[in-house]
């Protein structure tokens, strides 16, 4: 498993990182035009969203060992968000349309990075 992402900002600069190394925490505070996320042979591309986020869910296993169970890629639209779940326990990739500010149940999610304010948000699988 080697989850990678590539961000293109509105000024056309690029930032690339590895999800498991915490690189999302170092994304520059600039406006994102598109986010490309790849996991093994699967690639998801988000474009023109108002905000972007990336979450990793870990579970504890016997002892103090942690294992990544899900990776969530989120794109906020005007009134809702597209949430893409990469479930590593069952190998499924799911998309949910969730209410804005309720993307992770009742928990407040930090780490949103601004996107562009115009254009139609869209996603595609490659």
Q: Label the pairing between strands 32-39 and 51-60.
A: unpaired
What residues make up the domain containing 80?
A: 4-125
What is the SS3 assignment for 61? coil
CB 101 within 8 A of CB 51: no
26-73 residue pLDDT tens: 999 999 999 999 998 899 999 999 999 999 888 766 667 778 889 999
Closest CA to 30 of 4, 47, 12: 12
At 1, the pLDDT band (50, 70, 90 cuts) reads low
How many domains are there within the chain? 1
Q: What pLDDT, on a 0 to 100 scale, did the predictor assign at position 62?
A: 63
User: b/e for 88-121, b at 16 or more Cβ within 10 A?
Assistant: beeeeeeeeeeeeeebbeeeeeeeebbbbeeeeb
pLDDT, tens only, 82-123:
999 999 888 889 999 999 888 888 788 888 999 998 899 999
pTM score, two decimals? Answer: 0.89
């Amino acid at each position: 498993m080697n989850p990678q992402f590539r961000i293109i900002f509105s000024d056309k600069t690029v930032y690339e990182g590895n999800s498991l190394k915490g690189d999302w925490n170092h994304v520059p505070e600039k406006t994102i035009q598109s986010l490309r996320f790849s996991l093994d042979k699967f690639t998801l591309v988000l474009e023109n969203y108002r905000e972007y986020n990336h979450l990793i869910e870990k579970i504890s296993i016997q002892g103090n060992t942690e294992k990544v169970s899900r990776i969530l890629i989120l794109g906020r639209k005007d009134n809702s968000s597209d949430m893409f779940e990469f479930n590593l326990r069952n190998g499924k990739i799911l998309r949910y349309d969730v209410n804005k500010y309720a993307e992770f149940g009742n928990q407040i999610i930090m780490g949103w990075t601004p996107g562009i304010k115009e254009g139609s948000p869209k996603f595609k699988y490659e």
